[in-house]
Chain A
Amino acid sequence: MLKVENLRLEQSDFSLDATFSANAGERLAILGPSGAGKSSLLAALGGFLAPTSGRILWEGQDLTNLPPAKRPISFLFQDQNLFAHLSVEDNLWLALSAGKGRKTPEQQEKILAALEPMGLSAYGARRPGSLSGGQAARAALAMVLLRARPILLLDEPFSALGPGLKQEMLALVQEVAAQTQALVLLVTHQPQDAIDFATLTLFLDQGHASYPQETGAFFAEPSAILKSYLGK
């Protein structure tokens, strides 16, 4: 279980407070308007922003002061998930090995095994620039699969894709998460993404995170703030 206890982030003109928990295998959407602090919350969970106070626990282990690479977390950013100058395979190898040593046959096998379910077996030698948007997103997902971390943070990674492709990618994430029993946190400002993808939804408004609710119930009985956000 991921437990976020009285997490507080303070920056020069912005503060964020969050307390929530979510279990392995769940998919939690973090919804809110631009500037509400969604990406900051994710960055704090990933270890890229140091919280002012509070704790982040995973299965009882305190992650609050761990560096990003030591956390049980995979992260898909809005863009630049792949190094543009490296082939897809080399990108995956770097994610797997931190660039230590040479690529071993076992590592190569793992890389191919991660590319296969993404339909990218024939694209390993390609550079990201020669892939379509969907293929690049799948290559980034292959990296997540390869790293096999129990928490997956998605910071609107598919926002540049068309609606159809985005749906397809979210379905693929769902599949990967089901395989690995990972907890997925998805930042989005599109309510439909939460409805289509998430089992739980948390609403962030002006730095205040609501406690996650079951997604169906969240939209069935919208709060006043959510109504205002949805323009109802």
Chain B
Amino acid sequence: MARSAVSLTLVGVTAVLGLLLIGPLAAVIWRADQGLTALDIEAVRFTLWQAALSASLSVALAVPLARALYRRRFYGRGAIISLLGAPFLLPAIVAVLALLSVFGRVGLLAQGAAMLGLTLPSIYGAMGVILAHVFLNMPFAVRLLLLGWQSIPSERFRLAQSLGFGPPALFLHIELPMLRLVAPGAVMAIFMICLSSFAVALTLGGGPRATTVELSIYQALRFDFNLGAAAALGLLQSTLCLAALGLAALLPMQHGFGIGLDRALALGPPKGWRAYADFAGIFCATVFLLLPLGVLFYTGLSGIGSLPWVIWPAAARSVGVALCAAFLACFAALILAKASLRYGRFYEGVAMLPLATSSLVLGTGLFLIIHPFFSPARAALSVTILTNGFLSLPFAFRILLPDLRRLYADYGHQMTLYDLGPWAAFRFVIWPRMRPAIGFALGVTAAISMGDLGVITLFANADGTTLPMMIARLLGAYKMQEAASAALLLVLLSFGLFWLFDSREGKDA
């Protein structure tokens, strides 16, 4: 009985995910009755250009930084590596505000430049979009590359040492082969993130020279209410996402570098100018990441008590959306992870389905489906929950799958032998053993959902907004102080939710 309920749930989850991908896409295809304009072609060109440049710059800057962090040991190194994980959970709108506080028209740098009688170029436009993408994704690239460096067995470095390799030879024969394997994947992952990044383009981009396809969809739907054009652009964005996904699948799988004996790294880091360069790189990167956040924190803190009252219901809605989306994503991820262990990789593919679309495409399709029947604003929060849960599913799945696989390798036979039903298996084995992973997955998906500024922009009216959208509105009205305080509130809530799930579950387990 319970097992058939699980099978039904699996079928249900798979069907809902399939429908969520195919339904909006079908609606978009059905309504895409307009040709592309010259502006749309320009949006495609800009989207691809900014994504490629953002990804290449992020990884290019990450290489020396990851290398420096790998080979240097110093007080605070662990804290810097942890800090590099934070931008992944940082809402894009907050990153934008933080950057504006330093690089904006009245930011720290502009004030300094004004004292010297200089004028800095505007952050708005292509430069700002790329700066924000590098700010958000370079730390992610550093973490990926750092893992690559750590995967090189220390025996290789010992061998290099015994052969008398200097730093150039070491780079050429040991580090470069690793980079050839890891860097393309990192570039591709960041390219895909930037391809559908909407909040950054909405706040820093715009105008004919810095409009992405996602932003064009938003403009067609919200400003022009041109459903045909929005659908055509949605179809275009889906094609770009699918092409990028196909390209990513063509990348060679990482083969690793053989198994080492986990010996400690024997090679001393190079001294002299290389040491200065390493520490200078680490210092610059830390300042680049911390200074904007520090200024935002400082600016926002003073006004957090006097935020307009409408912020608080929006914050409550955001927390509610984040919690529901996180539970939905983790529930589906757990069901699909178990199914992929039992039935094979088909279900891994199902869990990765959301990568084939974007928030705005999904939103456009759902808008087209809902619009003939009732006002989309009425469904704003439920659609946001559904899409946020859907889009964060791959993260939850990737977090949960390895632990679930290990759990079944260790105890699967025992659970089968005792005939544990699904509920008993969850209650007595899966939950107690996977609490840290489930907590982490809930924390990550809640934080991602909390900061999301995507589909809600298409659906919400003035009353039913979330906190990120409220911040975008304050930003649009140039209420920078209020926007900074609301952004600080958003950061506190996002990281608070993450901490709540991650640390509670981690400690108790």
Please report A residues at the B interface, Cβ cutoff 8 Å.
46-48, 67-70, 74-75, 77, 80-81, 83, 85-86, 90, 94-95, 98-100
Contacts and interface: CB of A to CB of B under 8 A. Distances in A.
Given A86-B428, A94-B428, A99-B428, A81 B414 contact: yes
Given A85-B433, A86-B428, 5 more contacts: A68-B413, A83-B411, A94-B418, A98-B419, A98-B421
Given A98-B424, A99-B427, A80 B411 contact: yes
26 contacts: A46-B417, A47-B416, A48-B413, A68-B413, A69-B417, A69-B418, A70-B419, A77-B413, A77-B414, A80-B411, A80-B413, A80-B414, A83-B414, A85-B432, A85-B433, A86-B428, A94-B428, A98-B418, A98-B419, A98-B420, A98-B424, A99-B418, A99-B420, A99-B424, A99-B425, A99-B427
Given A48-B413, A86-B428, A94-B428, A100 B418 contact: no
B262 interface: no
A94 B428 CA distance: 8
Contacts of B417: 46, 68-69, 74-75
A25 B410 CA distance: 30
Contacts of A68: 413, 416-417
A144 to B, nearest CB: 11
A194 B429 CA distance: 35
Nearest to B435: A85
Interface in B473-502: none
A214 to B, nearest CB: 31
Contacts of B419: 67, 69-70, 98
Chain A contact residues: helix, strand, loop or mixed: loop
Contacts of A100: 421, 424
A68 B418 CA distance: 8
A95 B415 CA distance: 9
Interface in B413-451: 413-414, 416-421, 423-425, 427-429, 432-433
Interface residues of B, number: 18
Contacts of B427: 99
A67 B416 contact: yes
Given A48-B413, A75-B413, A83 B421 contact: no
B411 to A, nearest CB: 6
A94 B420 CA distance: 8
Contacts of A48: 413, 416
Contacts, number: 55
Nearest to B409: A80
Contact of A83 (B413, B416, B423, B428): B428
Nearest to A99: B424
Interface string B207-245: 000000000000000000000000000000000000000
B245 to A, nearest CB: 31
Nearest to B416: A68
A49 B424 CA distance: 24
Residue among B418, B424, B428 having the largest count of chain A Cβ atoms under 10 Å = B418
A75 B416 CA distance: 11
Contacts of A98: 418-421, 424
Residue among A70, A83, A100 having the largest count of chain B Cβ atoms under 10 Å = A83
A46 B417 CA distance: 9
Contacts of B432: 85-86
Please list the 7 inter-chain residue pairs (A to B) with the smallest Cβ-Cβ separation, ordered nearest first.
A99-B424, A69-B419, A85-B432, A98-B419, A80-B410, A68-B416, A99-B428
B179 to A, nearest CB: 35
Contacts of B421: 98-100
B398 to A, nearest CB: 24
Nearest to B410: A80
Contacts of A83: 411, 414, 428-429, 433
A77 B424 CA distance: 21
Residue among B413, B417, B420, B424 having the largest count of chain A Cβ atoms under 10 Å = B417
A81 B411 CA distance: 8
A94 B425 CA distance: 10
A90 B424 CA distance: 13
A111 B427 CA distance: 21
Nearest to A69: B419
Nearest to A74: B417
Nearest to B433: A85
A80 B433 CA distance: 13
Interface in B355-410: 410
A69 B433 CA distance: 22
A16 B417 CA distance: 23
A46 B414 CA distance: 11
A2 B343 CA distance: 31
A75 B413 CA distance: 9
A136 to B, nearest CB: 14
B458 to A, nearest CB: 45
B418 A95 contact: yes
